[in-house]
Amino acid sequence: MPLLEPRPGALRPRDVSGPAHDRLPDHRAAGTPEPLRTELTELLGAEKVLWKVSDLVRYASDASPYRFVPQVVVVAEDIDDVSAVLSYAHGRNREVVFRAAGTSLNGQAQGEDILVDVRRHWSGIEVLEDGRRARIGPGTTVLRANAALARHGRVLGPDPASALACTLGGVVANNASGMTAGTTRNSYRTLSSLTLVLPGGTVVDTADPLADEELARAEPALCRGLMEIKREIEADPELVSRIRAKYEIKNTTGYRLDAYLDGTTPVEILRGLTVGSEGTLGFISEVVFDTLPLDRELCSALLFFPSLPAAAAAVPLFNEAGALAVELMDGNTLRASVSVAGVPPDWADLPKDTTALLVEFRAPDEAGRDAYENRAAGLLTGLDLVAPVASVTNAFTRDARTINGYWKARKAFVTAVGGARAPGTTLITEDFAVPPSRLAEACEALLALQARHGFDAAVAGHAAHGNLHFLLAFDAADPADVERYAAFMEAFCRLTVERFDGSLKAEHSTGRNMAPFLELEWGPRATELMWRTKRVIDPDGVLAPRVLLDRDPRAHLRGLKTIPRVEAVADPCIECGFCEPTCPSEDLTTTPRQRIVLRREMMRQQPGSRVLDGLLGSYGYDAVDTCAGDSTCKLACPVGIDTGALMKDFRHRRHGAREERAAALAAERFGAVESAARLAVAAADRLPDRIADGLLAAVTGAARKAVNPDLVPHWLPQVPGAAARRLPGTPRTGAAAVYYPACVNRIFGGPGARTGPSLPEAVVAVSRRAGRPVWIPRDVTGTCCATIWHSKGYEAGTRVMANRIVESAWGWTAGGRLPLVVDASSCTLGIAHEVVPYLTEQNLALHRELRIVDSVVWAAEELLPHLEVRRTVGSAVLHPTCSMRHLGDEAQLLAVAEACADEVVVPDDLGCCAFAGDRGMLHPELTASATAREAAEVTARHFDAHLSANRMCEVGMDRATGRSYASVLLELEHATRP
């Protein structure tokens, strides 16, 4: 798509800091080299081969401290694609790495040759046996799978902190466990079966009764090799004993050698070896898990201790009492966590050595929970607790909101601490395990070791299982700092193995950072068996070389990425990928993480480099234009990075003075603009649909080519008809609130297929019906929430309208005496929050006095208690908008919907519709991509009503589903109509 900028080059970084030693060299500027690009395109199709330099760079980083730029990225759609790539690689001595969510912490999702994206087309869950088992695609997130299982009272065993982003393929490939999994609920213990594509292309379904027979026929050498290794291990009692002992604590270092002891056939052995193999033995195309009961009765406490060793010493007591989770957070972690929404700000002032334990008991019923609480209360009196624990008698809570806040702080460990690191430093995340009884001793030793090497690391982890994580930050651009880190790692590994006989990797899997230390932990005999295992299954070394096995003692220092300074809002990013599942453009162009990754590569370059020019050539459309600007990335990011706001700033940079003046003039004369827009829509209404759609599509298409495709919208058939010329008349006397119909509801009417009142008429009627009448000021025309300008980066226009709406609202509400009820959630967000930075000092003071209430909240809290529901629909599907997520109003939307329907369903695949005001008209492909999964879920069954709370979001969902979405307030009016 052409990029037409009013100011060419406006996106060029203002202060390029390169050249960095790890910059992409200029000879890579053309992207994928020939004949690789052409051969893969002919093999798979052009749409599955990503070859531009910007594509290669955005896939080069994951949540780890490493960075390797692939030669090409393949977006595999099915097993045939995977097999074709493997066959191609075998014939040409190439390497293949599989990448799903890219949340792995040790470079497992990065490759230097062919990188295969196995997230985009590989999601889905089939619940089996009433939830006791689940068949899951490898691109499905843990959060999505658990949402489906929760309806059956079941849950997956693995529960990694990155559950909202990490996928089940990666969870199994790394044997991820998490807060409660330990050694009994992890992937190895709860995986029922898997389907594996071997390096030679053979597909093995380990649940198939004939799998061993078919594997023996297809891969006889592999079967012989596995059974030979099994016999050798079993013939060595000392080795058997060593293997069993190593897995008594959490351990993901190297291949699972106990698979040879637990499995009796090649397929059973292969199933076990695949868990934790990091994509080095095959591609996991499907998994079937045995699920666990979802114990819903919880009680939790966040207990503060004077030191890390003191907290660690208390862990065995809670283990013996039956706690399912005992999570540790040291002082550095607690202080860094103040950046997480909801964390008390006074944590920033905690003494340096303060350490917290998050203790949680879970039971199937209240009696079980009560028994746990009584047992825990007896332990608390003997502990050396410090503030902010007020008293031991009320330390444990059952309040779901409080408990969720505890876990939010704990799960944000990596990102919160990483976000607080010194700008420009690289973050290393490591995890190890020792016998739980030696945790306190290990903590003291770790702190002393860090101090000797000049690190003040943050420590947190799954203390119940003797599993701790620590973070180190250093400057990867400084050779001396890299050597300091290398010396620490050597000493740490020897300490863990030689003093504690611990696991160098407890749950993050070996990865590039620990591969050189594999033999230190396992010894030469066991390590050689791991190398033999790799050769038996992947004799040509096609899959993920150097990810798990590497004899180079300095391999962990290769590929460390520098972190150039970029825009201040993005600097804290550690590239964790938590933002990606929420991003509307995830499957179309770029994600928030990738937008920042691309920006950092620009900074690594030097002025005039061909790589920099290539990245800039794609960035306008891929990053800026196709960002919905919904800022849901900020909600997912533990440190609140708002990449949407950054892209709006980039839009502003692309405006010249003329464009800014024009936007400001449109704001100043918005009354005329609004009237003209409503008249244009009304004129289109009077034409036959076929003629109107064709004529207006042709006119807008020509205008887009002549002006700018990011300024002139497409005409879409789903655009609603015009609103009534006049708003309902309402008296000011006796009004309980001022009602502000958003401009979108003053221009566009309601769903064409729906008869009855307009949205303003419905809000007025239902408010009067509840005895809480509202008043619509006569001069609302010409005012707006300013989102039209703000979303496009027009600062002058935003400033004009922001101050106008606040001044008007101040007058309408009698200085804030009455609430201002707004009937579009995005406009509520705009007036309540987004206008603030643009207000004059005087209007900022006025804004503080206003009470801005979304109409759905008004209905749920002020109207519903006084209304009689006379009729309901059988079923309704609900689309909460991203604005409501920012406002925290989803519960009120659900309450109103549940009053109107016997069954209300919020889709598991709910996401932002990406219509984003008019962005869905500027770039319809964005909405089509963003809504694909939710639309498939919605259209899979019949619903009597399709409900939301924002007119343009409803239009977006209309377009996605072919169903007619309407405001939940229209349904409420119908349900309560006499």
Of the two residues 2 and 286, the one the predictor is more confident about is 286
Query: Model confidence over 800-831: pLDDT tens digits?
Result: 999 999 999 999 999 999 999 999 999 999 99
Q: What is the C-alpha to C-alpha distance for residues 697 and 276, in angstroms, rounded to an integer?
A: 53
- Confidence at residue 411, expressed as pLDDT on a 0 to 100 scale: 81
- Confidence at residue 613, expressed as pLDDT on a 0 to 100 scale: 94
Please report which residue ranges of 123-183 form alpha helices under DSSP H: 142-150, 168-174
- Contact predicate 852/820, CB 8 Å: yes
Neighbours of 896 (CB within 10 A): 28
Look up residue 948 and give its DSSP letter: E
Question: Per the structure block, which two tokens stand in for 360?
Answer: 């949680």
Give the containing element (helix H, strand E) for 116: strand 114-117
Strands 114-117 vs 72-75: parallel, antiparallel or unpaired:
parallel
User: Does the pTM exceed 0.75?
Assistant: yes
Question: Per the structure block, which two tokens stand in for 351?
Answer: 């003494």
Please compute the mean of the pLDDT values over residues 716-734 and round it to a whole number. 84
Question: What mean pLDDT, rounded, does the chain reach?
Answer: 92
Please compute the mean of the pLDDT values over residues 12-41 and round it to a whole number. 92
- Of 186-200, 378-392, 505-519, the least confident: 378-392
Angle at CA of residue 60, ends 58 and 63, nearest 5°: 95
* Residues linked to residue 298 through DSSP beta bridges, in sequence order: 362
- Contact predicate 672/450, CB 8 Å: no
Q: Give the confidence band of 715 by pLDDT, cuts at 50, 70, 90.
A: low
Q: What is the C-alpha to C-alpha distance for residues 607 and 613, in angstroms, rounded to an integer?
A: 9
Query: Model confidence over 533-558: pLDDT tens digits?
Result: 999 999 999 999 999 999 999 999 99
Please compute the mean of the pLDDT values over residues 763-770 and round it to a whole number. 98
CA 641 to chain CA centroid, nearest Å = 12
How many percent of the chain have pLDDT more than 90?
77
- Contact predicate 858/821, CB 8 Å: yes
Q: Give the confidence band of 689 by pLDDT, cuts at 50, 70, 90.
A: low
Q: Where are the domains of the chain?
A: 26-118+560-642, 297-505, 862-976
**What secondary structure, in 3-state letters, does 310-378 show?**
HHHHHHHHHHHHCCCEEEEECHHHHHHHHHCCCCCHHHHHCCCCCEEEEEEEEECCHHHHHHHHHHHHH
- Contact predicate 965/948, CB 8 Å: yes
- Confidence at residue 971, expressed as pLDDT on a 0 to 100 scale: 97
- Confidence at residue 394, expressed as pLDDT on a 0 to 100 scale: 64
Q: What is the C-alpha to C-alpha distance for residues 905 and 900, in angstroms, rounded to an integer?
A: 12
**What secondary structure, in 3-state letters, does 50-72 show?**
ECCHHHHHHCCECCCCEECCCCE
- Contact predicate 54/83, CB 8 Å: no
- In words, the CATH class of domain 862-976 is alpha beta
Locate tokens 């499905």: which residue?
A: 140
Q: Give the confidence band of 751 by pLDDT, cuts at 50, 70, 90.
A: confident
- Confidence at residue 390, expressed as pLDDT on a 0 to 100 scale: 43
Please compute the mean of the pLDDT values over residues 681-690 and round it to a whole number. 66
Q: With a cut of 70, say whether residue 832 has pLDDT above it.
A: yes
Angle at CA of residue 226, ends 220 and 232, nearest 5°: 135
Please compute the mean of the pLDDT values over residues 62-88 and round it to a whole number. 97
Query: Model confidence over 597-607: pLDDT tens digits?
Result: 999 999 999 98
Helix, strand, coil in percent for the chain, rounding step 5: 45, 15, 40
Q: Give the confidence band of 137 by pLDDT, cuts at 50, 70, 90.
A: very high
Query: Model confidence over 854-903: pLDDT tens digits?
Result: 999 999 999 999 999 999 999 999 999 999 999 999 999 999 999 999 99
Does 35 sit behind a cis peptide bond, omega within 30 degrees of 0 on the bond before it? yes
Give the containing element (helix H, strand E) for 404: helix 400-411
Domains 26-118+560-642 and 297-505 share a fold: no
Q: With a cut of 90, say whether residue 947 has pLDDT above it.
A: yes
- Identify residue 678 by its one-letter amino acid code: R
Give the containing element (helix H, strand E) for 224: helix 220-234
Q: Give the confidence band of 1 by pLDDT, cuts at 50, 70, 90.
A: very low
Does 19 sit behind a cis peptide bond, omega within 30 degrees of 0 on the bond before it? yes
Look up residue 714 and give its DSSP letter: P
- Confidence at residue 4, expressed as pLDDT on a 0 to 100 scale: 41
Does 388 sit behind a cis peptide bond, omega within 30 degrees of 0 on the bond before it? yes
- In words, the CATH class of domain 297-505 is alpha beta
Query: Model confidence over 473-508: pLDDT tens digits?
Result: 999 999 999 999 999 999 999 999 999 999 999 998
Query: Model confidence over 344-392: pLDDT tens digits?
Result: 888 888 888 999 999 999 999 999 999 998 888 888 888 888 876 544 4
- Identify residue 564 by its one-letter amino acid code: P
Please compute the mean of the pLDDT values over residues 54-71 and round it to a whole number. 97
Q: Residue 205 in 3-state DSSP?
A: strand
- Of 95-109, 334-348, 604-618, 736-750, the least confident: 334-348
Q: Residue 479 in 3-state DSSP?
A: helix
Please compute the mean of the pLDDT values over residues 693-699 and round it to a whole number. 54
Largest interatomic CA distance in the chain? 93
Q: Residue 935 in 3-state DSSP?
A: helix
> Is residue 869 classed exposed, middle or buried when 0-12, 13-18 and 19+ CB atoms within 10 A define those classes?
exposed
Count the alpha carbons within 13 Å of 856 in the hemisphere toward its beta carbon: 31
- Of 65-79, 139-153, 433-447, the least confident: 433-447
Q: What is the C-alpha to C-alpha distance for residues 849 and 786, in angstroms, rounded to an integer?
A: 19
Fold assignment, 26-118+560-642: 3.30.43
Please compute the mean of the pLDDT values over residues 257-285 and round it to a whole number. 98
Q: What is the C-alpha to C-alpha distance for residues 263 and 247, in angstroms, rounded to an integer?
A: 15
Angle subtended by helix axes 479-494 and 439-452, to nearest 10: 150
Q: With a cut of 60, say whether residue 697 has pLDDT above it.
A: no
> Is residue 6 classed exposed, middle or buried when 0-12, 13-18 and 19+ CB atoms within 10 A define those classes?
middle
Q: With a cut of 70, say whether residue 692 has pLDDT above it.
A: no
Give the containing element (helix H, strand E) for 847: helix 841-849
Q: Give the confidence band of 405 by pLDDT, cuts at 50, 70, 90.
A: confident
